[in-house]
Chains A and B, each alone.
Chain A
Amino acid sequence: MTTLFGIFLLTLLMITGMAIVHTRNLFVAVMLMGIASLLIAASFFLLDAADVALTEAAIGAGISTVLFLGALALTSERERKRRRSLSTSSLLQFGIVGVVALIVIWATFDQPRLGSPSAPVQAHLTPWYIESTRDLIDIPNAVTAVLASFRGYDTLGEVVVVFTAGVGVLFLLGTGASSRAAGAPLSEDNAGLRHYLIPRILGRLLIPFILLLGFYVQFHGEYGPGGGFQAGAIIAASVILYALLEGEQRALSVIPQGVLLAMMAGGTLLFGAVGVAGIVLGSNFLDYSVLSEDPVNGQHWGILLIEMGIGITVAGVLISIFHAFAARATA
């Protein structure tokens, strides 16, 4: 039953994917991309990947859509029409793409089937991760254990990728604060949705709850699905919602650009510092067991701290990027 439902979702996903490529209206394409993300998230959930589903929904369907829409507002909504709809080059591209897809499908027949317990993925490393999570780290969520401790170095790299993207966008577009005189009076342009009563009131009602959810996801990541990335995205979403409702300027006065920069850098440094503490206390980088007398307790501390670092950096970067985009719109 679940498998059939999965197949149904994936078929929808395939159709959505083709529609995304086919449509000339970029706005429609972005919306369909959001739908595709949600379909993928649902499929992930069926495939037992609750953490990934949550992340895909928050980042793929949420943040990514907001960024695309922000970019579309500043560029154009439609692809330009091509004169020749079917040229030889596009036929050639279509042919190559089709052939490669067939080759990939041809290769699948040698692959382990879905859910096969004897597949190398299940047989080789997985039992060790499950057992060690139980014995050495002692938290219920094995995904968090692998993410934060066993492969914590990958996660550090990932935080650095996010940080790099933040640095890059701010370098390219300038910060939200710098392109506008500080303390400018609220004008039509940067007033957000101030004149719309219903969204504003509802937004005020919801923002605290979204923030609460963000913190819950942040600190509950060891016990259920969640963790720094998801929490960072959710917290950023609440700030972005505030900026949409109350205007850019208000949002920047609540969390100024300097604080956002400090968040970007500080979160990464916090992660790094926890790792370096491992070296200083006589073990290897990112070994949390030396952080406390009891190694298991040390692991808990380490995971808690680095998840905080991740959350801070992700929130800082996403809010900064949003401001950088939004500042262009009003400038």
Chain B
Amino acid sequence: MMDIAIDIASWVLLALGGVNLLIGGIGVLRMPDLYTRMHAASLTDSMGAILVILGIMLQAGLSLATVKLGVILVFLLLTSPTAANALAASALLAGVTPRTGQSLHLSDSEARE
């Protein structure tokens, strides 16, 4: 009984994580400029990673694998937001300005003109 409950919980987590990542992917494709795209990518990425790893942890049960997964999770939570931060900061430094107002609704080539 317990096993089935854990199994169901883990699959729910995995599915939720997968959906999160999918939404992130769609966001990257659909958003208009670099910053909004990064917004889509970084947030859903972290959330998706947390959910997926929790799901796998439940699958693995109490073992060495769970500990390793925990370490991976900590690593991901540290690095992925930092990478996003560094990327955004460098973009700003390189002169990519965030789009606001009307220009948000224009396509790339229109905005450039």
Q: Which residues of A contact B (CB under 8 A)?
A: 193, 196, 198-199, 202, 205-206
Q: In the assembled complex, how far is the CB of residue B92 from the closest CB belonging to chain A, in whole angstroms? A: 11
User: A202: which B residues are within 8 A, CB to CB?
Assistant: 78-79, 82
User: B82: which A residues are within 8 A, CB to CB?
Assistant: 198-199, 202
Beta-carbon contact of B79 and A198 below 8 Å: no
User: B78: which A residues are within 8 A, CB to CB?
Assistant: 202, 205-206
Select from chain A the residue with minimum beta-carbon distance to B78: A202
- A193→B89 CA distance, assembly (Å): 10
Q: For the complex, would chain B's binding face be called helix, strand, loop or mixed by DSSP majority? A: helix
5 A-B residue pairs with Cβ-Cβ distance under 8 Å, sorted by A, are A196-B85, A196-B89, A198-B85, A199-B85, A205-B78
Q: In the assembled complex, how far is the CB of residue A198 from the closest CB belonging to chain B, in whole angstroms? A: 5
User: B85: which A residues are within 8 A, CB to CB?
Assistant: 196, 198-199
User: A196: which B residues are within 8 A, CB to CB?
Assistant: 85-86, 89
Select from chain A the residue with minimum beta-carbon distance to B81: A198
- A193→B86 CA distance, assembly (Å): 9
Q: Which residues of B contact A (CB under 8 A)?
A: 78-79, 82, 85-86, 89
User: A199: which B residues are within 8 A, CB to CB?
Assistant: 82, 85-86
Q: In the assembled complex, how far is the CB of residue B108 from the closest CB belonging to chain A, in whole angstroms? A: 12
Q: In the assembled complex, how far is the CB of residue B54 from the closest CB belonging to chain A, in whole angstroms? A: 22
Beta-carbon contact of A206 and B79 below 8 Å: yes
User: A206: which B residues are within 8 A, CB to CB?
Assistant: 78-79
- A193→B93 CA distance, assembly (Å): 12
- A199→B86 CA distance, assembly (Å): 7
- A202→B85 CA distance, assembly (Å): 11
Q: In the assembled complex, how far is the CB of residue A69 from the closest CB belonging to chain B, in whole angstroms? A: 12
Select from chain B the residue with minimum beta-carbon distance to A196: B89
Q: In the assembled complex, how far is the CB of residue B55 from the closest CB belonging to chain A, in whole angstroms? A: 17
- A198→B85 CA distance, assembly (Å): 8
Select from chain A the residue with minimum beta-carbon distance to B85: A198
- A205→B79 CA distance, assembly (Å): 11
Give the one of B79, B86, B89 with max A CB within 10 A.
B86
Please name 12 further chain A to chain B contacts, defined as beta carbons within 8 Å, in addition to the given A202-B78, A202-B82, sorted by A numbering: A193-B86, A196-B85, A196-B86, A198-B82, A198-B85, A198-B86, A199-B82, A199-B85, A199-B86, A202-B79, A206-B78, A206-B79
- A198→B89 CA distance, assembly (Å): 11
- A193→B82 CA distance, assembly (Å): 13
Select from chain B the residue with minimum beta-carbon distance to A244: B86
Q: In the assembled complex, how far is the CB of residue A275 from the closest CB belonging to chain B, in whole angstroms? A: 37
- A198→B86 CA distance, assembly (Å): 8
- A205→B78 CA distance, assembly (Å): 10
- A283→B46 CA distance, assembly (Å): 57
- A196→B92 CA distance, assembly (Å): 13
- A199→B82 CA distance, assembly (Å): 6
- A116→B78 CA distance, assembly (Å): 44
User: A193: which B residues are within 8 A, CB to CB?
Assistant: 86
Q: In the assembled complex, how far is the CB of residue A162 from the closest CB belonging to chain B, in whole angstroms? A: 28
Q: List the 6 shortest-distance A-B pairs measured between CB atoms, nearest first.
A: A202-B82, A199-B86, A198-B85, A199-B82, A198-B82, A196-B89
User: A205: which B residues are within 8 A, CB to CB?
Assistant: 78
- A269→B77 CA distance, assembly (Å): 42
- A104→B26 CA distance, assembly (Å): 37
Select from chain B the residue with minimum beta-carbon distance to A199: B86
Q: In the assembled complex, how far is the CB of residue B52 from the closest CB belonging to chain A, in whole angstroms? A: 15
Q: In the assembled complex, how far is the CB of residue B12 from the closest CB belonging to chain A, in whole angstroms? A: 21
User: B89: which A residues are within 8 A, CB to CB?
Assistant: 196
